[in-house]
């Protein structure tokens, strides 16, 4: 272990408190809007991606992350688009990982579709990443290709194995989709728990235009839960992450199951997070369009202007979101795609 590994800085006090008294300690960063998949609930098949000049450079992303760390952020999650398709992404991950090693951050983590993990798993571990979320909506290879359009299940499963071998704890995320994976949920839980992975189910959120009707996809997790209760014993866990997830233990499998229910449950009162897009827009709430242009602040006024823009943005973090999916609200509740803010 090097000297820097052993030096632990004092945890910083939360310095970003929003108007509702919530400390913002968690930043999710979308490092690219691009992806090697085209999941049906996330993107349309023919997406137009952003011009390079609009996207923050790796150096700019690092500066913005550092500004948040100085203001009390303790946890960073990189997401996208697909974070591991961003060119030279390990440069940023290594730099941010150094903040974990020095104690300035508690955790650096990633949400990924898993397609590039065989290539990156060892490097991620060496950088200081210890846990990752991998999205897998089905274990049926044909269905997987249908849902992701361009994805191949065996490649993702190999990636998960590589991550496990590298020492990374893997949590599986699955979007619950009516008529797609609904019947398969119990076997996915058995597979995940049998392989030592927790699993979290996510309700579809109405974000961005896609090629399908969202009311056809929407499957309330309250229904999934009551179906599972016919088969298994679900014990509520007190665990809270400051986000929309609620956890249970399934006594029969011994594993943990999470439910992310932004539509059927209100989680906003304990929200501790903000989201940065790859173009430097800071969204104070996943379900609202209000955002702050940190790229303009930083490119025009440097660190000082960036710091001021962050403080101003946190000062207008809203109380909550207003997602609705029903037959009368077919369009997206927020115009941007999930791939821009990264979920
Ligand atoms: N590409 C990576 C992946 O798929 O894990 C990271 C980005 S992806 C936008 C992050 C998570 O958001 C994934 O678990 C994905 O399934 C989920 N997601 C995407 N669009 C969604 C939507 N409209 N509603 C709910 N979850 C969504
Ligand atoms: Fe890509 Fe993730 Fe969106 Fe699927 S959910 S299209 S993998 S960004």
Q: How far is ligand 2, taken at its centre, from the CA of residue 112, in Å? A: 8
| CA of 337 relative to ligand 1 center, distance in Å | 10
In a domain, 140, yes or no: yes
Instruction: Give the domain range for residue 128.
Output: 14-341
Least confident among 127-141, 145-159, 199-213:
199-213
239 pLDDT above the threshold of 90? no
Residue 2 lies in a domain: no
User: Higher confidence at residue 159 or residue 322?
Assistant: 159
Residue 102 lies in a domain: yes
Question: Could you tell me if the CB of 81 is within 6 A of ligand 2?
Answer: yes
Of ligand 2's listed atoms, the one at least distance from the Cα of 43 is 6
For position 332, what pLDDT does the model report?
A: 56
Determine the atom of ligand 2 nearest the C-alpha atom of 35.
Answer: 1
> What pLDDT is stored for residue 331 in this prediction?
54
- Whether residue 5 is contained in a domain is answered as no
What is the tens place of the pLDDT at every residue in 254-292? 999 999 987 654 677 888 999 999 999 999 987 788 999
Q: CA 122, CA 140: separation in Å to the nearest integer?
A: 27
92 lies in a domain?
A: yes
Chain center to CA of 35: 14
Q: Is the CB of residue 334 less than 8 Å from the CB of residue 277?
A: no
Nearest Cα neighbor of 168 from 111, 237, 225 is: 111
Could you tell me if the CB of 80 is within 6 A of ligand 2? yes
| Backbone φ, ψ for residue 154 (5° rounding) | -60, -35
- Quote the ligand 2 centre to 60 CA distance (angstroms): 24
How far is Cα 225 from Cα 185, in angstroms, rounded to an integer?
10
> What is the number of the ligand closest to the CA of 81?
2
Phi and psi at residue 235, in whole multiples of 5°? -110, 125
**Domain at 47, CATH number:** 3.20.20.70
Q: How far is the centre of ligand 1, averaged over its atoms, from the C-alpha of 177 (Å)? A: 13
Write down the pTM of the prediction: 0.91
Closest ligand to Cα 28: 1
Number of domains composing the chain = 1
Residue 244 covered by a domain: yes
Residue by residue, DSSP assigns 217-248 as HB--HHHHHHHHHTTS-EEE-----SSSEEEE
Residues 109-138 have pLDDT tens digits of 999 999 999 999 999 999 999 999 999 999
Residue 4 within a domain: no
Specify if 174 maps to a domain: yes
- Confidence band of 7 (pLDDT split at 50, 70, 90): very low
Confidence (pLDDT) at 14: 56
Residue 210 has pLDDT above 50, yes or no: yes
């Amino acid at each position: 272990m090097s000297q820097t590994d052993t030096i632990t800085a004092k945890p910083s006090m939360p310095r970003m408190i929003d108007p509702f008294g919530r400390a913002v300690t968690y930043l999710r960063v979308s490092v690219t809007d691009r992806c090697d998949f085209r999941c049906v609930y996330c993107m349309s098949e023919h997406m137009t991606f952003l011009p390079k000049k609009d996207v923050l450079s790796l150096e700019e992303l690092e500066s913005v992350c550092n500004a948040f760390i100085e203001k009390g952020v303790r946890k960073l999650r990189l997401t996208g688009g697909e974070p591991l398709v961003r060119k030279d992404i390990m440069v940023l991950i290594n730099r941010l990982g150094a903040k974990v090693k020095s104690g300035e951050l508690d955790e650096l983590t990633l949400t990924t579709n898993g397609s590039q993990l065989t290539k990156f798993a060892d490097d991620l571990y060496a950088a200081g990443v210890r846990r990752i979320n991998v999205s897998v909506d089905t274990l049926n290879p044909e269905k997987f290709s249908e849902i992701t359009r361009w994805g191949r299940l065996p490649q993702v499963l190999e990636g998960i194995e590589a991550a496990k071998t590298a020492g990374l704890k893997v949590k599986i995320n699955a979007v619950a989709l009516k008529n797609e994976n609904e019947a398969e949920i119990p076997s996915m839980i058995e597979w995940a728990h049998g392989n030592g992975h927790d699993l979290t189910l996510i309700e579809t959120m109405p974000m961005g235009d896609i090629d399908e009707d969202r009311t056809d996809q929407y499957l309330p997790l309250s229904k999934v839960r009551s179906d599972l209760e016919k088969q298994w014993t679900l014990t509520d866990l007190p665990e809270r992450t400051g986000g929309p997830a609620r956890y249970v233990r399934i006594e029969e499998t011994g594993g943990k199951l999470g439910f992310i229910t932004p539509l059927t449950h209100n989680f906003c009162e304990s929200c501790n997070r903000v989201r940065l897009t790859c173009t430097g827009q800071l969204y104070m709430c996943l379900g609202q369009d209000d955002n702050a242009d940190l790229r303009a602040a930083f490119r025009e006024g440097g660190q000082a202007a960036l710091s001021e823009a962050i403080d101003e943005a946190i000062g207008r973090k809203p109380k909550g979101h207003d997602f609705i999916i029903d037959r009368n609200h077919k369009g997206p509740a927020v115009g941007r795609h999930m791939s821009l803010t990264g979920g």
